[in-house]
Structure 1
Amino acid sequence: MSNLGKYFIFLGTLFRNREKLGVYLRLILNECTSIGVGSIFIVALVNSFIGAVTCVQTAYNLTNPFVPHNIIALIVRDSTILELAPTLTCIVLAGKVGSNIASELGTMRITEQIDALEVMGINSSSYLVLPKVIASVLMIPLLVIMAGFLSILGGYIAGTLAGVISPEEYVSGLRLDYKPFGVAFALIKTVVFAFLISTISAYRGYNVQGGALEVGSASTSAVTTSCIAVVAADFVLTQLLLT
């Protein structure tokens, strides 16, 4: 059977013989803290500088004197909301969150902790993986919302400090021809990306066979596969929702 088929079978096991709701609530809260709070700094840092660089580079390339400066802010806004905030943030989180999920489950597999759960009659995939998936779907969209805000703010600070755009022109550009569906589109993409990152990483870690070397290989494979899945899903969703 192909890896894709095994992956879908693995997804099916997450919803069989589940534990009581109270057990999952505690696990989900723990995972929300690990995934959400633990990723705030890296997401904030990356997106703030990405917004700043986008603003300055856009201003550098707008050499036509007849193009109004508020177009700079419009480009920063649209590129941030439609692409940079959701996609770039999820690629960063694929490296941080995805590798953490894969290595944690892989370590539990080679130390036989997962086998011990199975012996006790617990559905180990549901108990260990489902809270991570739910927490990812809940927290990563919140991180993307923060990322979008900080990216636009970073563009504002960099643009005004560098003198390439005035505060009034930047705010005017943010309001120019605004389409609310862009935010909904970004959040839809983010939920799909979060699901892919968490489930692919969990699948790689849960099915590790061997020792510490194989755990490292599974972690690397989880990050690589998640990044490919994110960019592929990005293309498909863009074709479906924006055309």
Structure 2
Amino acid sequence: MFFSYFGKYILLLKAVFRKPEKFSLYWKEIAKEMVYIGIGSLALISIISVFVGAVMTLQIAFQLVSDFIPKTIVGSVNRDSAILELSPTICALVLAGKIGSSISSEIGTMRVTEQIDALEIMGINAPGYLILPKIIAGITMIPILVYISIFLALLGGYVGGVASGVVSSSDYIQGITTGFIPYTMAVAGVKAFIFGFIITSVASYQGFYVNGGALEVGKAGTKTVVISCIAILSADYIITELML
């Protein structure tokens, strides 16, 4: 079952990355998908990131029961947690539900209404035209969203920590600036890139091979979220093992 699924997945990707018939049509679709994935998800990612950063600051401060541990550690732990794990992974899991199910439903509806068959009859590479813009937009915009999420998580941690009194402004800022390793940002970027590819390609696969009607389209959306989340967490472990 797995090998059959993986084989069809690879064959679909080969068709997706075939040379486009007309680049101008693809650029319009790419721009539309970038707006949907990037700007359309910005508000949700921003709200989640701010609150996650604030909660993490409070929880880290709660664990610091010893007077011998400097308060600056709150900022440094929150920084590394946001960069390496929280922002990339939480953003990816949220976007798997929001974007993944939408892509799967969109392509699945086109499949059951025979719009994809019509494109193929006209000689258009349907996988390339429908899926390639989504993948390019995903691997481009999701890393940007992750970096925005990191900034907002640190900002939320600052506001939450200072407002609650668990850490002073100077201690928090000193914590997030002291001992910063730029390589961690590269790790976050690689994770975001891979997660973006997983979300868009898995969703497109599920939608493209829908058989049946509206019920099957709904099931494909559910399978997209489940498979994407499992693949994201697995990839998260592998990337962390290889890069750290």
The answer for the alignment partner of 1:34 in structure 2 is 36
Gaps of 5+ in 1: none
The answer for the alignment partner of 1:111 in structure 2 is 113
The answer for the alignment partner of 1:67 in structure 2 is 69
CA displacement, residues 154-186 of structure 1 (integer Å, 9 cap, x when unaligned): 000000000011110001001121111000110
- 1:41-190 to structure 2, matched below 5 A, reads 41-190=43-192
- Aligned-residue Cα RMSD (Å) equals 0.8
CA displacement, residues 32-54 of structure 1 (integer Å, 9 cap, x when unaligned): 11111110111011111000000
CA distance in structure 1 between the partners assigned to 2:73 and 2:45 by the alignment: 26
The answer for the alignment partner of 2:23 in structure 1 is 21
How far apart are 1:61 and its partner, in Å?
A: 1.0
How far apart are 1:86 and its partner, in Å?
A: 0.6
The DSSP-based 3-state class of the residue aligned with 1:122 is coil
How far apart are 1:19 and its partner, in Å?
A: 2.2
The amino acid across from 2:114 in the alignment is: E
CA distance in structure 2 between the partners assigned to 1:10 and 1:159 by the alignment: 48
The DSSP-based 3-state class of the residue aligned with 1:117 is helix
Q: TM-score, normalised by structure 2?
A: 0.98
CA distance in structure 2 between the partners assigned to 1:65 and 1:161 by the alignment: 21
Residue-pair matches, total: 242
CA distance in structure 1 between the partners assigned to 2:111 and 2:4 by the alignment: 21
The amino acid across from 1:233 in the alignment is: A
CA distance in structure 2 between the partners assigned to 1:192 and 1:215 by the alignment: 25
Q: TM-score, normalised by structure 1?
A: 0.98
CA displacement, residues 185-208 of structure 1 (integer Å, 9 cap, x when unaligned): 100111011001100000000100
The DSSP-based 3-state class of the residue aligned with 1:177 is coil
Q: After the TM superposition, which parts of structure 1 deviate over 4 Å for at least 4 consecutive aligned residues? A: none
The amino acid across from 2:140 in the alignment is: L
CA distance in structure 2 between the partners assigned to 1:132 and 1:158 by the alignment: 36
How far apart are 1:80 and its partner, in Å?
A: 0.1
CA distance in structure 1 between the partners assigned to 2:19 and 2:118 by the alignment: 16
CA distance in structure 1 between the partners assigned to 2:175 and 2:44 by the alignment: 28
The amino acid across from 1:240 in the alignment is: L
The amino acid across from 2:65 in the alignment is: T
Residue 222 of structure 2, aligned match among 207, 220, 223: 220
The amino acid across from 2:98 in the alignment is: K
The amino acid across from 2:66 in the alignment is: N
Residue 232 of structure 1, aligned match among 231, 234, 238: 234
Q: Retained in 2: the 8 A contact 1:40–1:143?
A: yes
